[in-house]
Amino acid sequence: MPNSAIVRNPDWPSILKGYSALPGVPDELLREDGSVRPEWVSLIAHLEGLSPDERERAFARGAQYLRDAGVFVRHYGEEKSPRDWPMSPVPVIQPASEWKALGEGLAERAELLEEVVADLYGENRLVEQGHLPAGLIASNPEWLRPLIGVKPASGHFLHFLAFEIGRGSDGSWWVLGDRTQAPSGAGYALENRVASVRAFPGYYSGSNVERLASFFRGFRDGLNAMRREEGSRAGILTPGPMNETYFEHAYIARYLGMMLLEGDDLVVDDGRLMVRTVSGPKPISVLWRRMDAAWADPLELEASSRLGTPGLLGAVRSQGVTMINALGAGVLESRAFLAFMPRLSEVLHGKPLAVPNIATWWCGGEAERDHVRANAADMLIGPANSTSLPLEFEPGAVLRGDMSELGLDLDTWLASQGRNLVGQELVSLSTTPTWEDGGLKPRPMRIRVFMARTREGWQLMPGGFARLAATSRDPSAVSLRSGGTVADVWVVSDKPVPEDSMLTHTEDVFVRTSPGLLPSRAADNLFWLGRYVERAEGQMRLTRAYMSRLPETPAGGTPLMSRVEAYLDDHGLDKDEGVPDAIERTIAAAVNAANQVRDRFSVDAWASLADLERTVGNMRKTVLTGDDAASAMGVLLRKITGFSGLVHENMYRFSGWRFLTIGRSLERAIGMADLLSSFAEWSGPHGGFELCVEVGDSVMTHRRRYPVAASRDTVVDLLALDPLNPRSIAFQIDEIRDQVSLLPGADVNGQLSVLSRAVLRVQAELSVNTPQSLDQTKLVDLRQAIGLLTNDLHSQFLD
């Protein structure tokens, strides 16, 4: 019976006018009889109760959160990430009872996968007994031969899994793909949750939606429990900011309070894995990897990898580290496995799969090949060892028997390439509502769900990451190949659920943990972030000083303006550009450095830096030289000090902050020494002293401290020697000395480190000088000595 025939009563919600299930396809919102499923009733009522304005504002709040979090800022990568799709504000709602049953079924599937992968890297009995074709395994690029016979330290290969699921026409869940290598998306699910809570703040808190925090806490506690030696750590391994899901890695690391590490942060020392930190190498024994195995160790796996850690396999082999998941576990992602899973369940568990997967036939067998040939019109046929989902685009795959791309006929293809091909049934998927044109509209959807091995066994995340098709024209899974939106998944209990977040942890006694280790690479990036931000600020002040003088400069110029122009030129700043290109480049460098330590910044700090970058980009297109540029610089200066403020007000005062501060002070001291050596000559062009005071942002202080006009003495005193002026060189050197003395290794067995001694020398040199004795030559020498501190810092902490 088509749903459109249902006569609806007059209080049928107006937002549901125009919503009806597609024929022959189950709908998440509506029952077959056209009534609203109970778990949706209150959300629909809530939405119905909002005015169109309130609704738009609510949805905008969710979208705003994702924008502020920088979720939509895309970098470098060519590949599309799930975040190229905007968020649909309406969550997918699932009853807790059904989710519980799904979790039990998927736990069985997880166990089955564990047994299969353990066999493939162990005795290989499944192949020997003919349950898996030997040729298929041998040609699987993720069956990593150097790891065969290697037992994982934790005793398990799999700890964190994702399943791509969809609801088939019979109303039950089907697995479309198993994700066993390094599944991404859990962080996106977390963000979507924050966004959907923002969209429905009052509603969410009383809505019995199960919280995500306990799932992550259980997983994190499980990771920590696997640590091998006292004092060793668990960390997250990322391929770095070039990776399209790096944002998620940083997000998860921050959320779980775990170290975010790149391959270069790690070294292997006699079978133990160590993190290179500013306090020296520290042991790490659990790595949640977000990197494909092939790149993990250039010595034994992909030799060209620059992302990996040489010798990591040695540490794995000697059970010095547990990899989450084990290197090589990606072998199970090959779609051909779906053809064998039903049989493997019978063989290993003695029963059918609790959660079936999409019907798949390996074309290496004659009967299967015939079946695929006969039913090609309803199938997707593609490479057997591909890890793509049946709904993702892939070259070399054939949809509904259309052979036009391949240039040969189906029979020949199957006969010659059968062993390398699988056919997969094109299933139709259920629809769920999205918001469009002022009302709800049905869209086919699939969900990525996550399972973690915890101390209490496999746990299914009460939520997930849903993908909705762009249109409802084609309910088959392939319509999800392109475009569409993503949505949060709410698992709704019929009982109230306790409030929970990563911050509430009532069962444990409060313990103040020691601050985390600071990897050397992170310290390096923080140092340079400090320098670049300060450098950009200096460039802005200088540009402003020039641009604001420009309108009043006579046609032939003035000696001071010629001097400024030469100085700008020396510093790469183009005087003919309103917003010089060099400023944009410096900010890009700052963003790049910040991006590498993204796990260490608040959403607000990141948003403010991203905003600065965007503003500079926009201004470059419109701002003219002169007054326009001077006022633009004012705007930029307020924005950049906003970022510095957020960082310095909120960052925990430990090693990371110290490196950032040292970078800032060093850059500021260098900039000031530069400025003074160029403009504070005794006999320099008229106006040079005032320029120094202005660029040094000390106009007010100068006025207050000295009742006279700026002279060389007052300027050098205030900007170089006065230890109380936060813009002076002396102030920066004091700051650097304070921070360096608090860093690990400031002294070695009671003896000052090379860096400490070098800083002390600069400090002493400054303190014995007067404005008269600190002449231009000494300023140049001073600038050089400060610059050289970078080298000492590098060799002590960052190499």
Partner 1 sequence: MAMLYDIKLTIDYSFQTPAAGARQILHAMPLTLAGRQRLIAGSVDIDPEPAVRRDRDDFFGNRLTEMAFAEPHNNIVITLKARVEVTGGAEPGSASVDLPTLVKALEVETDLASRSPLHFLASSPYARPVEAIADWARSFARPGRQCGDIVADLGLALNREMRFDAEATTVSTPAAEAFANRHGVCQDFTHIMIIALRSLGVPSGYVSGYLRTLPPPGKERLEGADAMHAWVSAWCGPGVGWVEYDPTNAVFAGTDHIVVAYGRDYADVAPVRGAMRTAGGQTSNQSVDVIPVGE
CB of 117 vs partner 1, minimal distance in Å: 15
Q: Is 320 in the site for partner 1 (CB under 8 A)?
A: no
Q: Is 6 in the site for partner 1 (CB under 8 A)?
A: no
CB of 316 vs partner 1, minimal distance in Å: 13
Strands 485-492 and 92-95: parallel
CB of 313 vs partner 1, minimal distance in Å: 10
Size of the site for partner 1 (CB under 8 A): 29
Measured from the CB atom, the residue of 268 and 389 that comes closer to partner 1 is 268
d(CA 651, CA 210): 32
Question: At 457, is the secondary structure helix, strand, or coil?
Answer: strand
Measured from the CB atom, the residue of 305 and 678 that comes closer to partner 1 is 305
Measured from the CB atom, the residue of 147 and 452 that comes closer to partner 1 is 147
d(CA 632, CA 406): 57
CB of 340 vs partner 1, minimal distance in Å: 14
Measured from the CB atom, the residue of 108 and 394 that comes closer to partner 1 is 394
**Binding segment toward partner 1, per CB under 8 A, in 38-46, 231-239, 269-277, 559-567:** 269-277
Give the number of other Cβ atoms within 10 Å of residue 416's Cβ: 11
Q: Is 419 in the site for partner 1 (CB under 8 A)?
A: yes
Measured from the CB atom, the residue of 153 and 536 that comes closer to partner 1 is 153
Measured from the CB atom, the residue of 364 and 390 that comes closer to partner 1 is 364
Please state the length of the chain: 799
d(CA 735, CA 727): 11
Q: Is 267 in the site for partner 1 (CB under 8 A)?
A: yes
CB of 791 vs partner 1, minimal distance in Å: 14
Measured from the CB atom, the residue of 199 and 274 that comes closer to partner 1 is 274
- Sign (positive or negative) of CA dihedral 39, 44, 46, 47: positive
Q: How far, CA to CA in Å, does 105 sit from each of 156, 284, 349?
A: 19, 34, 13
Interacting residues with partner 1 between 350 and 369 (CB under 8 A)? 364
CB of 128 vs partner 1, minimal distance in Å: 6
Measured from the CB atom, the residue of 307 and 766 that comes closer to partner 1 is 307
- The answer to whether residues 434 and 487 touch, using CB atoms and an 8 Å cutoff, is yes
The torsion angle over the Cα atoms of residues 489, 492, 497 and 499, rounded to 10 degrees, is 20
d(CA 122, CA 203): 51
CB of 357 vs partner 1, minimal distance in Å: 24
Measured from the CB atom, the residue of 145 and 614 that comes closer to partner 1 is 145
Interacting residues with partner 1 between 16 and 55 (CB under 8 A)? none
CB of 88 vs partner 1, minimal distance in Å: 40
Interacting residues with partner 1 between 275 and 304 (CB under 8 A)? 298-300, 302-303
Q: How far, CA to CA in Å, does 23 sit from each of 30, 85, 469?
A: 12, 27, 17
Question: At 266, is the secondary structure helix, strand, or coil?
Answer: strand
Q: Per-residue b/e over 167-199, b at no fewer than 16 CB within 10 Å?
A: bbeeeebbbbbbbbbbbbbbbbbbbbbbbbbbb
CB of 132 vs partner 1, minimal distance in Å: 9
Q: How far, CA to CA in Å, does 766 sit from each of 676, 729, 731, 760, 762?
A: 14, 9, 10, 10, 6
Identify the CA nearest to 647 among candidates 672, 673, 612, 616: 612
CB of 124 vs partner 1, minimal distance in Å: 5
Measured from the CB atom, the residue of 305 and 586 that comes closer to partner 1 is 305
**Binding segment toward partner 1, per CB under 8 A, in 106-114, 266-274, 346-354, 524-532:** 266-274
Interacting residues with partner 1 between 146 and 185 (CB under 8 A)? 146, 148
| Identified binder of partner 1 from the candidate list 96, 236, 268, 487, rule CB under 8 A | 268
Q: Is 270 in the site for partner 1 (CB under 8 A)?
A: yes
Interacting residues with partner 1 between 94 and 153 (CB under 8 A)? 124, 127-128, 130, 134-135, 137-139, 141, 145-146, 148
Q: Which helix (H) or strand (E) holds 651?
A: none
Measured from the CB atom, the residue of 130 and 350 that comes closer to partner 1 is 130
- The answer to whether residues 776 and 679 touch, using CB atoms and an 8 Å cutoff, is no
| Identified binder of partner 1 from the candidate list 26, 34, 187, 311, rule CB under 8 A | 311
**Burial (Cβ within 10 Å: 0-12, 13-18, ≥19) of residue 80:** exposed
Helix axes 213-225, 246-256, angle to 10 degrees: 80
CB of 150 vs partner 1, minimal distance in Å: 10
CB of 276 vs partner 1, minimal distance in Å: 10
3-state helix, strand, coil in the chain (%, to 5): 50, 15, 35
- Which residues neighbour 557 within 8 Å (Cβ) at sequence distance 6 or greater? none
In this structure, what DSSP letter does residue 24 have? Answer: T
Measured from the CB atom, the residue of 31 and 145 that comes closer to partner 1 is 145
CB of 383 vs partner 1, minimal distance in Å: 11
Measured from the CB atom, the residue of 271 and 723 that comes closer to partner 1 is 271
**Binding segment toward partner 1, per CB under 8 A, in 13-21, 100-108, 310-318, 425-433:** 310-318
| Identified binder of partner 1 from the candidate list 13, 95, 122, 310, rule CB under 8 A | 310
Q: Is 699 in the site for partner 1 (CB under 8 A)?
A: no
Q: What are phi and psi of 161, to 5 degrees?
A: -125, 155
- The answer to whether residues 466 and 487 touch, using CB atoms and an 8 Å cutoff, is yes
d(CA 429, CA 40): 19
CB of 299 vs partner 1, minimal distance in Å: 5
Interacting residues with partner 1 between 438 and 467 (CB under 8 A)? none
d(CA 461, CA 488): 12
CB of 139 vs partner 1, minimal distance in Å: 4
Interface positions with partner 1 (CB under 8 A): 124, 127-128, 130, 134-135, 137-139, 141, 145-146, 148, 264, 267-271, 298-300, 302-303, 310-311, 314, 364, 419
